[in-house]
Amino acid sequence: MEILGYIASLLIGISLGLIGSGGSILTMPVMVYLFGIQPLAATSYSLFVVGSTSLVGAVQNYKRGLVNLHTALLFGASSVFTVFVTRRFFIPLIPGTLFSIGSLVVTENMLTMLLFAALMILAAISMMRKEANAHHQRSAPTNNTAKLLLYGIGIGFVTGLLGAGGGFLLIPTLVMLAGIPIKEAIGTSLLIIALNSLIGFTGDLQHQHINWRLMLVITALATPGIFIGNALNKKISSTRLKKAFGWFILAMGLYIVANEVFGSLTHL
């Protein structure tokens, strides 16, 4: 299973480089199902791997003039703070066993995976919708700083809670609220994801045991993937690939729901 995990690590980087999102959507299942890491700990690994890989992609896009620093820092101001507070103070307060529904006991790990599966399904729908392709049309900027900050708080909480960078949420937000062209939105989202994820990861250092060797190996494999994804991004339209990736993410999300719910019931 670990061999498949290492192969999937390369795909994490390719996804981030090609469509600016999807890296964390892949990282969590890879960590949990292929490397056997507990879900809550896997969110920490996801933050580091996706954050490091996104930073490499952000630097690449900045050199090509495809990062809007002003918007990234404005948006990141609220999201980074929210991620850190969520990881440092909120996550440690979640009890191991939350509640039960009949014979089904809902644990912290189960809830983490179910919430992540819900996020995957939402991401899949966003990727497959025909309207999502309208991102390619630049919108008029709203100059609504308060709305950008509020969106930053929301995405920061999602990132902090589930270890997901939120690229599929970030890109349409940057296009519709800030009026940024799609290519620039992808580069800008990578910088925001990097800031959110890496600073969020620092909030875990005091209360999570990290297998640094495994995490660094996965990061090292994912990093070349983002160069491949960026190269493909220059040559092909990501519309069809994004839709196919959406179907794949949808299937994975439904599998996680079935595995967590029915798997728990069969162990009773």
What is residue 213's predicted lDDT score, i.e. its pLDDT?
93
Give domain limits for the chain.
2-266
Pick 235 or 143 by higher pLDDT. 235
Structure tokens at 86: 């969520």
pLDDT per position as a tens digit, 190-224: 899 899 889 889 888 877 788 999 999 999 998 88
CA 129 – CA 143 distance, rounded (Å)? 27
Q: What is the pTM of this model?
A: 0.81
The residues near 229 (Cβ < 8 Å, ≥ 6 apart) are: 13, 14, 15, 16, 17, 18, 19, 57
Q: Phi first, then psi: what are they for 9, rounded to 5°?
A: -60, -35
The widest CA-to-CA distance across the chain, in whole angstroms, is 56
Closest by CA to 96, choosing from 39, 58, 57, is 39
DSSP-derived secondary structure for 165-203: --HHHHHHHHHHHH---HHHHHHHHHHHHHHHHHHHHHT
pLDDT per position as a tens digit, 114-137: 988 888 888 788 777 754 444 445
CA 76 – CA 201 distance, rounded (Å)? 15
What is residue 190's predicted lDDT score, i.e. its pLDDT?
87
